[in-house]
Structure 1
Amino acid sequence: MSDIIQLLPDSVANQIAAGEVIQRPASVVKELVENAVDAGSTEIQVIIKDAGRTLIQIIDNGCGMSETDARLAFERHATSKIKEAEDLFSIRTMGFRGEALASIAAVAQVELKTRLHGEELGTKIEIAGSKVESQEQVTCAPGSNFMVKNLFFNVPARRRFLKTNATELRHIVNEFQRIALAHPSIAFSLVHNEQTIFNLPPSNLRQRILGVIGTHANSMLLPVETDTSIVKIKGYVGKPRSARKTMGDQYFFVNNRYMRSPYFHKAVMVAYENLVPAEHCPPYFLYFEVDPQIIDVNIHPTKTEIKFEDERAVWKIVVAAVREALGKFNMVPSIDFYDAAEVQIPSVQKEGPVTEPTVHINPEYNPFNTKVRGNPDNHAPQIPSDWQSLYEGFESGAGNKDDSTSDTLILPSKENGDEDREYDDSEEVSLGENMDAGALYFQVKNKYIITSVKSGIMIIDQRRAHERILYEGFIKNIRSEASVSQHSLFPEELTFSEEDAILLREILDELRIFGFELKETKERTFAILGQPSLLRNIDASKVIDALLAAFKSGEVDPQQEVKENIALVMAKNACMPPGEVLTQVEMAELINNLFLCNSPNYTPDGKPVFTIVDNEELEKRFC
C-alpha cells in the first residue's frame, strides 16, 4: 500500500491558518495595528475602503524593517517577540505568534513599504496568495505602510459570507476602539471612503475615553483605582443612570491588551446590584496591571481571552474596587442620621436647673358642645347644614338592578392615584359570542385581568396581550407602508457611540416604516422628530436601545426578515411595563383590541396570552 500522508504546501497551510486568525476585514485591522503599536509608533493611520473589501491600509511611524526582515516577516511563525518557550510567560507585546502576516498574505494582495530610521532607501514587497511577486528598493517614509487589497480574492466562499458594509465597518470600528483605548499616548486616525471617523490625538486616559465614546459621557464617569499585591486596577465606570440596554462600552484591559471576560463582567454587575434596571449595563473601562507570569494570553487564536492564575481573588478585587468608586461619589443609597435639616435634637444645657416638661389642657372643653368654651383656639367640629342631602337615594335604591347586586364597583384608578373610582355599565364592551354581556374586569397583582365568559373564567396576561396588539399593528404598517407618526414639538436628541451610530444609519429606512423619524443633527447625535402613534406614553429612546441591542446580539438578522424582527423587538419592549394599574375602561379596551387580532391566543414568540378555566373545572373545585 502506497503512502498517503504528505505535508501540505505552505500556501495551503497559510490559508488554513487564516481561517482562524483572519475571519473578516476587522481581523486584518487588529493584527496590523497591533504590529504598528509593537513597533513603537507614535502615530498610526487606518484607511479603509468599502468596509475593508477593497482596501485596508495601515501607516505608522514605527521602527520599520530592514530588507531581510521585511521578507522574513511573511513567513509562518516568524516573530521578533519570543525566542524560547520561557518567553511565553513574560509577554508584554501585542503580537508574538508570527502568524498574522503570513495568514493575511495567503488570502489577499499585500503591498508593504518599509524603511528603517536613518536609512536612505526602504523596501517594497508585493505578495498575492502567499506568492512573492516582486521585491525592490524604493524611496518611502520611515516606518511601515501596509496595503491589503481585495481580501479573500482567492477564497470566494469566504468573501461571499461577509456581511453588509455597515456591519463589517462596525466590526472594524470596534477593533480600532479597543486598541485606541489601550494606548492613549499614541495618535490614531480612522478614515473610511475618504471620510474621517476618528481623529484621536495623544492624550490622557479620560480624554481618550471621551474621544472614543463622545464628550457627552464626561459627567457620567467615576474614577476607579486600587492597588493590591495581586493586581492593580485603574480606569472609570459609569454612574448608574448611564446604564443602557445596549452593550458596547464595556472594556477590560490587561497590561494594555484588550480582554473579553464574561466572568469579570459579572463581577462588575454584582457591584451595581440594585442600582441599575434589569438587563441594563453601565459603561466601564477597567485597566489591569498584573505580573505576566500569573496570566496566560496564549489560549485563543485572536488573543482576546486571558487566563488568570487566581481568578476568584481578582473577581473579589474587581467587585470591591467598583463598589468603592460608587460609594465614594455617593452613587450608593445611604441613610444620613446627622442631617440637621431633617431632625432637630435640642442640646443639653449644663448650666441651670433642669425643669420637668408640662402639658397644657383645657378642663372645660366639651367635644359635644357646638359653642366655643374656654380657650378660643379650641373649636368643636362644624356640621354642614346640608348634611341630609348626603343620604339622598339610599332608601329609594336608585341605580340598583336588583336587591342583591350593587350598582358600583370600586377599583383603583391610574389617573387619581389611590383615590377610588366609580364604574358604571356604560363602560362595558362586547367581546364576541363567548363573552358575557355584563362581564366585569378584575385586575390581579397588577398583572392579570380576570373576567367571566360563557364557558367559564378567562385569565389574561395584560403585558402579553399588549405585546400581541402592538405587534399586529406594526405588521399592518409594514404591509401597507403607511405608518402613522406622532411628531414631537421639542425633539429629543440622543448621542450614540460610533458603533451604534453606524448600525442606526443602516436601519433608518426600516424604522421610518414603523413611524420613527430620526435625523442625524451632528456627528453621532440623532434627533427623534417623530415616533409611532402606537407607542403612547413610551420612552422612544428605550425602544431604540432595545433594537440596537437585538441587532448586536444577533436576535435580529440584518439579512433575513428585518422588518418582522424589528416589529417583534419593538412590541416586546414597547408594551406596558410590569405592574401597570388599569382602569375598567382600559381593561375593556385592551381585551377588545386583543380579540380583534388575527392570532390573539399567543404572543409573537409563541407564549400563551390567556387561559380559560371552564365551568366543569369550577364545579369540581366545589364538590
Structure 2
Amino acid sequence: MPDIIHLLPDSIANQIAAGEVIQRPASVVKELIENSLDAGATHIILSVKDAGRTFIQVIDNGKGMSATDLRMAFERHATSKIRSADDLFSLTTMGFRGEALPSIAAISHIEVKSRREEDELGSLLVISGSKVEKQEMVAAATGTSITVKNIFFNVPARRKFLKSNETERRNIFTEFERIVLVNPDVEFTLIENGVETLHLPKTGLRQRIVQIEGKNTNQQLIEINEETTLGKIYGYIARPEFARKGKVNQFFFVNNRYIRHPYFHRAVTTAFEPLIAANEKPGYYIYFQVDPDTIDVNIHPTKTEVKFENEQALWQILMVTVKESLGKFNAIPTIDFDRDDAPEIPVYDPSRTSSMPKVNVDPGYNPFHSHRTETPQPKVPAFGWEQLYKGFEKEKELVDEIEGRTPATLFKPAGGDRNLPETELSPEHYQYKQKYILTSVKSGLMIIDQHKAHVRILFDKYLEQIRNKRGISQRVLFPEVLELSASEAAALPSIMEDLEALGFELSDLGNHSFAIQAVPSEIENAAPAALIRSMIGKSMETGSDVKSEIQESIALSLANLTAIPYGNTLTTEEMLLIVSQLFASPSPTYTPDGQTIISVISDAEIEKRMQ
C-alpha cells in the first residue's frame, strides 16, 4: 500500500498562508507599507486602482535591497528580523514572519524594483503565482517599488468573495489611516485611479490626527501623557461633549503598532462614565511605549492582537491618566502654536497712523418732532398687500368646518399586524410626563412611546422617499461646510445617491470637504452636517453591500435623529396625528430595530390592581 502523506508544493503552501495573511486588497497595502517603514523610508507613495483589485503600488525611498536579498525576500519564512527564537519576544519592527511577500506573490502578479544607495544599478524581479518569470539589472531610484496586479487571479473563489469597490476602498483607507497615525514623521501620498486624493507631509502627532480627521478635530483633543516604570502612555482623548452614539475614532497603538484591546478600552470608558451618556462612545488616540520583552505580538497572523505581561497594572494607570486629563482640561487653556492655519500677528509699527472712522449723521433729524417738520419724509410706495388676501375666505370656512368635525375613532393597521389587538381608540389622548401618549381602547389602556412612534412613522416615510427618489429639497441660504475624515470621505460615495434621494445636495470642495447646499424640507432646522456624519458612521458600522440594507440604515438613522424627542409637550392635534399615522404603518407595534412602541394594560389587570 503506497504512502498517503506527502509535502505540499511551495505554491500551494503559499496560497494557504495567503488565506491567513492576505484577506483582501487592504491586507496587501498594510504589509507593503509596513515593509517600507522597516526599510527606513521617509516618503511613501501608495497608488491603487479599482479599490486594489487590479493594481496596488507602493513606492518608498528606503534603503532598498540587493539582487540576492530581493530574490530571498519571496521565499517562505525569509526575514531579516529574526535570528533566534528569543528574537520573537524583543521585536521593534513591523513585519517579521517572512510570510507576507511570498503569500502576496502566490495570488497575484508582482513586479519589484529595488536599489541600494551604494549600488549603481537596481534589480527587477517579476513573479506570477509564485513562479519567477524574470530577474535582471535595471536603472532604478534608491528605495523599492512594488507593484501588485490582479489579486487572487488564480484563486477565483477568493476573488468572488471580495466586497464592492466602495467597501474595499473603505478597508484600504482604514489600514492606511492606522499606519499614518502612528508615523507622523513620515510623508505619505495616496493616489487613486491616477488622481492624488491625500497628501500628508511630515508633522507632529496632533497635527497628523488633524490632517486625517479634519480641522474640527483640533478643538476636541485633550492630551494625555504619563510615564512609569512599566512604560509610557501618551496621546489624545476627545472631550466628553464630542462623544457620539455611532461610530467614533478609537485607536490603540503599542510600540508603533495598531492593536485591538477590549480590556484597555474598558479602562477608557470607565474614566468617561460619569461624563457621557450610557449609549455614547468616547473617541481616543492612545499610544503605549513598553519594553518589547513584556508583550507578545505573535498570537495572530495580522498582529493586531497583543498580549501584555502587566495588563492589570497598565489598566489602572491608563484609567487614572484619562481621568486626570479629563479633570483638568478646563482648568488651563492651551494654545496650539504648531497649527498650520494659525493667524499671523502683526508687529506694532509706531510710524504708521490710523485714521478716525467716519460716521454719517443727519443733523436735521429730531425724533421728538412730528411728521410735519421741515425735513421731508420719504414716501412709502403702496404695494397693495390687501389684494393678496382675497380668495382666502372660502378656504378659511373649509378649515373651520374640518376642525369642527369629530375625528374618526377606529384605526386599523394597514398591514394587519397580528401582534396588535383590535382597538377602538378614543378621540381623547393624554400625554404622560412628555414621554408617553395614553389613550383608551376596548381592551384597556394603551401606552404609546411618542419618540419611538415618530421614529416608525419617519422611517417609513424616508424609506419610501429613498426608494422612489421623491425627497423634497430645501435650499439653504448659507451652506454649511461638512469636513470629513479620510475614512468617512471614502464611505460617502456609497450612500450619496440615497442622500440625494432624501433631498440632500452636496458640492465637493476638495480635501474631503463638502458644502451642504440643500437639505430635506422636513429637517431644515436641524444640524445637517451632524445628520450626514451620523448616517455615514451608521453605514460604516453596518458595512453592508446590499442596497436595501444601506437604504434602511440611512432611513433609520435619519428618523432617529429627527424624531420628536422626549420632553416635548404635544398638543391634542399633534397626538392625534401621531396615533393616526402610526396605525397606518404596516408594523405599528415595533420600531425598525425591534424596540416596543405600544403596550396595552388590560381592563382585568387594572381591576386586579384596584382591589
- The range that moved more, 596-605 or 86-95, is 596-605
CA distance in 2, matches of 1:437, 1:313: 61
Shift of 1:577: 2.5
CA distance in 2, matches of 1:427, 1:450: 22
Q: Are residue 87 (structure 1) and residue 87 (structure 2) matched? A: yes
The match for 2:27 is 27
Aligned to 1:147: 147
Query: Which string of whole-angstrom CA distances, capped at 9 and with x for unpartnered residues, describes residues 520-540 of structure 1?
Result: 233212233333334475443
Which residue number corresponds to residue 112 of structure 2? 112
Query: How far apart in 1 are the matches of 2:164 and 2:426?
Result: 56
Shift in Å at residue 439 of structure 1? Answer: 4.1
The TM-score normalised by the length of structure 1 is 0.80
Greater displacement, 537-546 / 250-259:
537-546
1:555 to 1:459, Cα distance in 2 relative to 1, 3 A: farther
Letter in 2 for 1:518: L
Q: CA deviation at 1:284?
A: 2.0
Two-structure CA RMSD over aligned residues (Å): 2.4
**Which residue is 2:564 aligned to?**
576
Matched, 1:603 2:603: no
Moved more, 250-259 or 81-90: 250-259
The within-5 A match list for 1:406-421 is none
Instruction: Provide the residue aligned with 2:451 in structure 1.
Output: 463
Residues of 2 paired with 1:327 and 1:456: CA distance?
51
Report the Cα offset of residue 427 of structure 1. Answer: 10
Residue 214 of structure 1 is matched in structure 2 by 214
Deviations 1:198-230 (A, max 9, x none): 212222222222222223322222221111111
Query: Are the aligned partners of 2:246 and 2:534 in contact in 1 as well (CA < 8 Å)?
Result: yes
Alignment of 1:207-606 (within 5 A): 207-330=207-330, 429-432=407-410, 439-535=427-523, 537-554=525-542, 556-606=544-594
Higher mean Cα deviation, 534-543 or 171-180? 534-543
Q: Is the 8 A contact 1:439 1:453 kept in 2?
A: no
Tell which deviates more after alignment, 269-278 or 148-157: 269-278
Give me the identity figure in percent: 51
1:137 alignment counterpart: 137
> The residue matched to 1:59 in structure 2 has which SS?
strand
Q: Encode CA deviations 1:433-458: one digit per residue, 9 max, x unaligned.
A: 67778643222343321111234321
Instruction: Name stretches of at least 5 consecutive residues in structure 1 with no aligned partner.
Output: 333-424
Does the aligned pair in 2 maintain the 1:122–1:140 contact within 8 Å?
A: yes
Question: Alpha-carbon deviation of 1:145?
Answer: 0.9
Partner of 2:49: 49
Q: What is the aligned partner in structure 1 of residue 393 from structure 2?
A: none
Q: Pick closer, same or farther for the CA change 1:280–1:491 going to 2, 3 Å.
A: farther
Tell me the CA shift for residue 558 of structure 1: 4.3
Question: Alpha carbons of 1:565 and 1:182: their partners in 2 closer, same or farther (altered >3 Å)?
Answer: closer
Deviations 1:394-416 (A, max 9, x none): xxxxxxxxxxxxxxxxxxxxxxx
How far off is 1:118 after superposition? 0.9
Q: Which moved more, 1:243-252 or 1:161-170?
A: 243-252
1:427–1:585 Cα contact (<8 Å) kept:
no
Tell me the secondary structure at the aligned position of residue 196 of structure 1.
Answer: strand
Unpaired stretches in structure 2, ≥5 consecutive residues: 333-402, 412-421
For 2:599 and 2:245, the matched residues in 1 are separated by: 32
Q: Distance in 2 between matches of 1:196 and 1:43?
A: 15
The offset of 1:165, in angstroms, is 1.8
Q: Which amino acid aligns with 1:467?
A: V
Contact 1:102/1:130 (<8 A) preserved? yes
What letter is aligned with 1:308? F
Pick closer, same or farther for the CA change 1:555–1:602 going to 2, 3 Å: farther
Matched residues in 1 for 2:12 and 2:79: separation? 20
Secondary structure of 1:507's counterpart equals helix
CA contact (8 A) 1:76 1:102 kept: yes
Distance 1:565 1:225 in 2: 39
Q: TM-score, normalised by structure 2?
A: 0.82
Distance (Å, rounded) in 2 between the aligned partners of 1:215 and 1:617: 58
CA distance change for structure 1 residues 478 and 2 in 2, over 3 Å: closer, same or farther? same
1:308 shift after superposition: 0.6
Decide which structure has the larger Cα Rg and report it: 1
- AA aligned to 1:432 is L
CA contact under 8 A between 1:431 and 1:595: conserved in structure 2? no
Q: Tell me if the contact between 2:112 and 2:147 (Cα under 8 Å) persists in the aligned partners.
A: yes
| Superimposed CA distance per residue, residues 236-281 of structure 1 (whole angstroms, 9 cap, x where no aligned partner) | 2222233334435322111111112222222222222232344333
Residues 556 and 566 in structure 1, CA contact (< 8 A), matched pair in contact too:
no
Shift of 1:426: 6.3
Q: CA separation of 1:537/1:277 partners in 2, compared to 1, >3 Å: closer, same or farther? A: farther
Cα contact 1:456–1:614 (8 A) shared by 2: yes
**Does the CA-based 8 Å contact 2:81-2:96 persist in structure 1?**
yes
Please name the residue that 2:389 is paired with. none
How far did 1:501 drift? 1.1
Change (3 A) 1:555 1:585: farther
Distance 1:479 1:509, change over 3 A: closer
Contact 1:487 1:529 in 2 (8 A): yes
When residues 438 and 99 of structure 1 are mapped into structure 2, their CA distance, relative to the original with a 3 A threshold, is closer
- The Cα offsets for residues 439-491 of structure 1, whole Å up to 9 and x where unpaired, read as 43222343321111234321112222111111221233244321223332223
Q: Note closer, same or farther for the CA distance 1:281–1:454 as it changes in structure 2 (3 Å cut).
A: closer
Contact 1:519 1:526 in 2 (8 A): yes
Residue 590 of structure 1 and its aligned partner are, at CA, apart by 1.2
Instruction: Measure how far apart 1:584 and its partner are.
Output: 2.7
